[in-house]
Amino acid sequence: MKTADPELMRAINRFHVIDVVRREGPIARVGIAERTELSPATISAITGALIEQGVLNVLHVDPPEGPTRGRPRIMLDLNASAYHVVGVKLAAHRIGVAVTGFRGDPLGSLVLPVRLARQSPEVIADLVEDGVRQCLADAGLAMEAISGVGVGLPGVIDAVAGVSHWSPILGASPVPFARFLEARTGVRTLIENDANLATLAEHWFGHGRGFADFAVVTVENTIGMGLLVDGRLYRGAHGIGAEFGHVKIDPSGPLCRCGQRGCLDAYASDAGIVREARAAGCLEGNGTPDTHQLIGKLTERALAGEEKLAAIFRRAGEMLGIGVANVVNMLNPPRIIVSGEGLRAGELITGPLLEALDRNVLPVLREATEIVFHPWGDEMWARGAASIVLRQIYEAPWSNDAA
Ligand SMILES: [Zn+2]
């Protein structure tokens, strides 16, 4: 750890000031000082530079009416149009795109319903470029106005190198997908495992605000988990996110997409539920291979009371509960956020999940961990992808050239 590096200290202080204004603005300088515990002189220097750079706006707010009425107070707020960023979510059957301002507020979004399976990474990069250009055109923004693109996708992703090592979308060979996109758009691009991205987004503007330690379990076409430890994303030994979907629930269980047996993913992901439904004779013929369409219909039928199907969803919920119980037993985070489209089945999933959780953790640990369900839509995912770029801008060194 470097010490007494003034540039680094200024960058860290700048990040904390911007972050406090983002979370609590409009806010007066004295309020920033209270929350950051920085000296008034430091706050003045940092906010003065940020105002000059156009990152912060100055607002003059009239004090409340009354006998002690004084001068207007000077409040600071983020300049929402200081930067624009794009977030992209890649899923097996669609591409979600959102463009946001500096606060992460969406200015426009779209979903391209395209099936990405069996497309080459180059073709997928072309499709993402089309989606980004369309989304920007709809929002009336030029590519040159964009400071960065963030992309979330399932799989084993090296966010630092911008390489997908294994992904149900980009395949099992390493793909430098960030470079592919940069070559097409000319804009700096970050890629990140989608569960990690959900974790950062929950920390920023969701149910993880104010928590230094929490986990996010994402239930989608794949099962993922992100883990925040001491306010930082835990990435493991190789800069890689946790692949929670491949935690083993039953060594003699069904074959998973990864080639191993009994993974949580094989029971509780969309693909796992579809496979179970087919094995139980609930799907006639070979039908459409589109898991996304199938899972929507299966969910409707289960919710409408088709018992054989409802049992498959309840079992998926139970397996998820065992997986979450393992997280509680190992890590005991104060909060676990369960999110994703898989929650569309509602009580059918969440009921058995909570029951299995209660059965499989020590009561003393169970009491200390709060479970929050947070169903996410495509826009939230894309906004989360945008927020990883925003976060990097916030962390940029002390300079005018933050982009
Ligand atoms: Zn697996």
Task: Please say if the pLDDT value at position 391 is more than 60.
Answer: yes
Which pLDDT band holds residue 338 (cuts at 50, 70, 90)? very high
CA distances to 93, 253, 337 from 320, in Å: 23, 14, 13
Q: Cα(166) to centroid of ligand 1, in Å? A: 12
Is the predicted pLDDT of residue 241 greater than 70, yes or no? no
The pLDDT confidence band at residue 359, using thresholds 50, 70 and 90, is very high
- Distance from Cα 293 to the centre of ligand 1, integer Å: 23
Name which residue leads in pLDDT, 368 or 168: 368
Q: How far is the CA of 263 from the centre of ligand 1 (A)?
A: 5
**Distance from the alpha carbon of residue 244 to the mean position of ligand 1, in angstroms:** 9
Average pLDDT over residues 23-38: 91
Distance from residue 247's CA to the centre of ligand 1 (Å): 7
Q: What is the pLDDT of residue 4?
A: 63
Q: What is the pLDDT of residue 290?
A: 75
Q: At 400, is the pLDDT very low, low, confident or very high (cuts 50, 70, 90)?
A: very low
How high does pLDDT run on average in the chain?
Answer: 88
Model confidence at 401, pLDDT cuts 50, 70, 90, reads very low
Q: Measure 378 CA to ligand 1 centroid, in angstroms.
A: 25
Q: 10 alpha carbon to ligand 1 midpoint, in Å?
A: 44
Residue 45 CB contacts under 8 Å (≥ 6 apart), including other chains: none
Average of per-residue pLDDT across 31-46: 92
Q: How does pLDDT run across 139-188, given as a tens digit for each residue? A: 999 999 999 999 999 888 998 899 999 888 999 899 999 999 999 999 99
Neighbours of ion ligand 1 (CB under 5 A): 246, 256, 258, 263
Expressed in angstroms and rounded, the spacing between residue 329 Cα and the centre of ligand 1 is 21
Mean pLDDT, rounded, for 177-202:
93
Please state the rounded mean pLDDT for residues 54-80.
82
* Token pair belonging to 292: 């996304």
Give the span between the Cα atoms of 194 and 202, in whole angstroms.
Answer: 12
Number of neighbours of residue 138 by Cβ within 10 angstroms? 14
What is the distance in A from the centroid of ligand 1 to the CA of 169? Answer: 15
Compute the distance from residue 233 Cα to the ligand 1 centre, in Å: 23
The H or E element spanning position 275 is helix 270-279
Neighbours of 360 (CB within 10 A): 17
pLDDT at 286 (0 to 100)? 58
Question: Comparing 61-70, 150-159, 264-273, which segment has the lowest mean pLDDT?
Answer: 61-70
Q: CB under 8 Å, gap of 24 or more: what pairs does 131-137 form?
A: 131/88, 131/95, 131/97, 132/86, 132/88, 132/97, 132/185, 134/97, 134/110, 135/86, 135/97, 135/98, 135/99, 135/108, 135/109, 135/110, 136/86, 136/99, 136/108
Instruction: Quote the ligand 1 centre to 314 CA distance (angstroms).
Output: 20
For residue 209, the CA-to-ligand 1 centroid distance in Å is 31
Question: What's the gap in Å between 33 CA and the centre of ligand 1?
Answer: 48
CA atoms within 13 A on the CB side of 325: 21
Which is higher by pLDDT, 156 or 32?
A: 32
Burial class of 281 by CB neighbour count within 10 A (0 to 12, 13 to 18, 19+) = exposed
Percent of the chain with pLDDT over 70: 92
Q: 243 C-alpha to center of ligand 1: Å?
A: 9
> Which pLDDT score, from 0 to 100, does residue 398 have?
37
Do the Cβ atoms of 375 and 192 come closer than 8 Å? no
Residue found by looking up tokens 């988990």 in the block: 225
Instruction: Look at residues 28, 15, 34, 33 and name the one whose alpha carbon lies nearest to residue 76.
Output: 28
- Ligand 1 centre and the CA of 163: distance in Å? 21
CA distance 250 to 377: 31
Q: 123 by DSSP, 3-state: which? A: helix
CA of 245 to the centre of ligand 1 (A): 6
Q: Is the peptide bond prior to 26 cis by the omega test (within 30 degrees of 0)?
A: yes
Q: What pTM did the predictor assign? A: 0.81
Residue predicted with more confidence, 66 or 83: 83
